Copies of this chain bind each other. A is one copy, B any other.
Amino acid sequence: MTPWPLPPGSTIGLLGGGQLGRMLALAAARLGFDVAVLEPEPDAPAARVAAHAITAAYDDPAALSSLAARAAVVTYEFENVPAAAVERLVDLGVEVAPGARALAVAQDRLAEKTFLNAHGVATVAFAAADSAEAAAAAVAGVGAPVLMKTRREGYDGKGQRWVEHAADAPAAYRALGNVPVIVEAPADFVRELSIICARGRDGGFAVYPLAENHHGDGVLRRSLAPALASPVLLAQAERIAAQILSGLDYVGVMGIELFELRDGSLLVNEIAPRVHNTGHWTQDGCPVDQFEQHIRAIAGWPLGPTAASCGVEMINLLGDDARDWLRWAAEPDTRLHLYGKRDAKPGRKMGHVNRLRPL
């Protein structure tokens, strides 16, 4: 049995070797943990800062056994981890956090919205379909225009398309690959916000201040935090976070994307059972950032404080944006974070900067 809280010197297993994994690994190292990364790509960003790197498919049985042999707890940097891999780790006696329930809900947009509504958390109207014909009925039911999304996979605007008329639904369904979909009513929002929250093994709960997020082409470009927000709005966001985390018996950090409507109410757009791009501002805006907070939570440590110590504008460096590293490094009030990716493909997240300002 794993002893909680997990003592320093233990090894934390990590599924996924990208930038979120890299920043989790750095945070774990600061607290005296070793990290073992399982990732299919060789030379991955997180593997280069980890004590152990296992290069294999996520569902490779030998790789999972090797990870289970080293790790006292396993976490992940992305929600599309194969459920079978998590089951296998659990069968091998390793705790996976956040748990299988959170993953199942986050991996399926229908399960996610159903869970949210069942726990008193509002979302846009939606309907599911698993055939071209059913898609037309779903669009008619919700009322066009709608956003049609595959129930599984897809991120940063991929795996989704707008449907202007119910008659276009079958074609859209086929264009998305003839796989189960969900159709969502558009949200008439005034702002996109997010709340990064955490729940510990003891049920301890913590939320960071809200971030205001700006996207372009479906990809996050900038977050401003703490977002200007009334006490009523903050209380509403905290209540949503608490209901989701306790409803999932969650352990770890979660990113919750929110739509703020004209009337001041909040809808949940989606949840990410992991550290989140809109929480990168905490690295330089809070004494304990989302990465350390996640490690604390999954290790059974007490959660850290979440108040902001300064204001932050987080800007993602996509593709060639990262070529400006020297300019950013020369700005006294800017902290630069680069992910060590070899290839700056267009739109690829290469790094980010946090520009600091007094609160």
The answer to whether A338 touches B30 (Cβ under 8 A) is yes
Question: Taking the nearest CB of chain B, how far is it from the CB of A352, in angstroms?
Answer: 11
- Report A1-14 CB contacts with B as 1/0, cut-off 8 Å: 00001011100000
A131: CB under 8 A from chain B? no
* A332 at the binding interface (Cβ < 8 Å): yes
A96 within 8 Å of B by Cβ? no
Distance of A303 Cα from B51 Cα, bound (Å): 30
Whole-angstrom distance between the alpha carbons of A332 and B48 in the complex?
A: 31
Specify which of B30, B33, B325, B330 is in contact with A8 (CB 8 Å cutoff).
B325
The residues of B that contact A342 with a CB separation of less than 8 Å are 9
Q: Whole-angstrom distance from the CB of A209 to the nearest CB of chain B?
A: 16
The interface residues of chain B lying within 8 Å CB-to-CB of A30 are: 26, 336-338
- A22 close to chain B: CB less than 8 A: yes
Once the chains are docked, how many angstroms separate the CA of A48 from the CA of B8?
14
Residues A339 and B51 in contact, CB atoms below 8 Å apart: no
| A5 touching B326, Cβ below 8 Å | yes
Report the separation of the CA atoms of residues A310 and B51 in the bound assembly, to the nearest whole angstrom: 33
In this complex, the member of A8, A288, A356 whose beta carbon has the largest number of chain B beta carbons within 10 angstroms is A8
Cβ-defined contact, A325 with B32, below 8 A: yes
A129 beta carbon closer than 8 Å to chain B: no
Copy tally for this chain in the complex stands at 2
CA distance A342 to B11 in the complex (A): 12
Q: Which of A242-297 contact B (CB under 8 A)?
A: 284, 287-288, 296
Residue contact A34 to B48, C-beta cutoff 8 Å: yes
Cβ of A335 within 8 Å of any chain B Cβ, yes or no, is yes
In the complex, which residues of chain B have a beta carbon less than 8 angstroms from the beta carbon of A51?
A: 48-49
Query: Which residue on chain B has the smallest CB distance to residue A322?
Result: B8
Candidates B287, B337, B338; contact of A335 at CB < 8 Å: B287
Q: Of all chain B residues, which has the CB nearest A26?
A: B26
Known: A5-B326, A26-B26, A326-B5. A33 touches B296 (CB 8 A): no
Can you list 10 A-B pairs, Cβ within 8 angstroms, ordered by A? Answer: A7-B325, A8-B340, A26-B49, A29-B340, A33-B340, A34-B340, A48-B50, A287-B333, A287-B335, A309-B309
Binding site for B on A (CB under 8 A): 5, 7-9, 22, 25-26, 29-34, 48-51, 284, 287-288, 296, 301-302, 304-305, 309-310, 322, 325-326, 329-330, 332-333, 335-340, 342, 351, 356
Other A-B contacts than A305-B332, A309-B310, 7 sampled, CB-CB below 8 A, are A5-B326, A8-B325, A32-B325, A49-B49, A284-B287, A287-B333, A287-B356
